Amino acid sequence: MADMSVVLSGIKLENPVIPASGCFGYGAEFKDFYDLNILGSFSFKGTTKEPRFGNPTPRVAECTGGILNSIGLQNPGIEAVINEELPRIAAFFKKPVIANIGGFSVDEFVYCAERLDGVEQVGIIEVNISCPNLHKGGVNFGSDPKAAAEVTAAVRKATGKPIYIKLSPNVTSITEIAKACEDAGADGLSLINTLLGMRIDIKSRKPLLANKMGGLSGRAIFPVALRMVYEVRKAVKIPIIGMGGVASAEDVIEMMMAGASAVQIGAENLRNPFACKEIIEDLPRVMAELGIERLRDIIGVA
C-alpha cells in the first residue's frame, strides 16, 4: 500500500494535501461535499486581531488560467475565530488545523499568536507576512529581510507552536527572505503567496478590481511557484509547504520533488469543490505509475 504520510515539525499528516488559506474559509463551506477528515490538514481563512470587512467590491476577477482577488483579509477577528469558528470546526474536523494569521504591525502578529498558543486544535501557525507594515510606510513585511525576520522572531517568542512563515513571490530574492526567516526562528515556510496582477475592462476603460490590482492565483502560476520552492529548498534546511497553481496529483508529486514536504491547494478549490478529495484519491495511482512507495522519499529529489 502506498505510504502518503508526511511530517511537518513533528506533526504527522496522513497525506500532504492541505487546502490553502483564503480558498477554504473555515471548512464549513466544504464539509457537505465530502468528509474533510481525509485531508492532511487545512489552513483556515487569514485572521487578524480586529474584524475586517475587507476591500471594496468588485474584488474578484477571472483571467486565463487563474483568478485575481483583492479581498483585503476579510475576517471576523481573532476572538470570534477562537470562540466561534474553531468550536464549529471541531464538530466536523478531528485533526489539527493550520491557523493563518495576518497583521499590520509586529504587535498584531504577536497578539494573534499568543491568543492561539493555548488552542489545542491548532497544530501550526502560518504567518502571512504579505501584509503592509503601517508603522513603516506601508511596505510589506515580506518584501524586506529585516522586517520578515523581525516578525518571525517576535512570533517565535509568543508561541510554543510551530510557526511557518508564508512568503510573498513579489520580491527580488525570495531565498534571501527565506533565509532571514529561518535564522530568526521559523520552523518552516509556506510559499508562494499570490503574484501581483491586474485586469482592465476595455469597454469601461477602468480596472476590473476596485483596488486596481490584486493577487493572481490558479494554474497559471504553477511554474513560478515550483521554481521558487526549488530555489528555497536549496537555501534552507526547514520544511516547506509548497503552493501556487496546484491542481492535480501529478502537480503534488512535482511540487514535492522540487522540495515541498506538503502541498496546499488554493484556487482549484474554487473551480472544483471536490479538488482536494480527487487529488488524494488519485495520488496512489500516480505513485504506482512512478514507482513511488513513500511520498517522503521524493521530497527534494529534483
pLDDT tens profile 208-265: 999 999 999 999 999 999 999 999 999 999 999 999 999 999 999 999 999 999 999 9
Is pTM beyond 0.85 here? Answer: yes
Reply yes or no on whether the pLDDT at 136 is more than 70: no
Give, rounded to a whole angstrom, the gap between the first and last alpha carbons of the chain: 24
Query: What's the whole-number average pLDDT of the chain?
Result: 95
Half-sphere exposure of 183 (CA within 13 A, CB side): 13
Q: What integer pLDDT is reported at residue 141 of this predicted model?
A: 87
For residue range 77-94, what is the model confidence (pLDDT) as tens digits? 999 999 999 999 999 999
Amino acid at position 56, single letter: P
Active site (catalytic) residues: 131
CATH class of 6-50+73-195+218-298: alpha beta
Q: Which of 95, 121, 117 is nearest to 37 (CA)?
A: 95
Q: Which residue has the cell 476579510?
A: 74
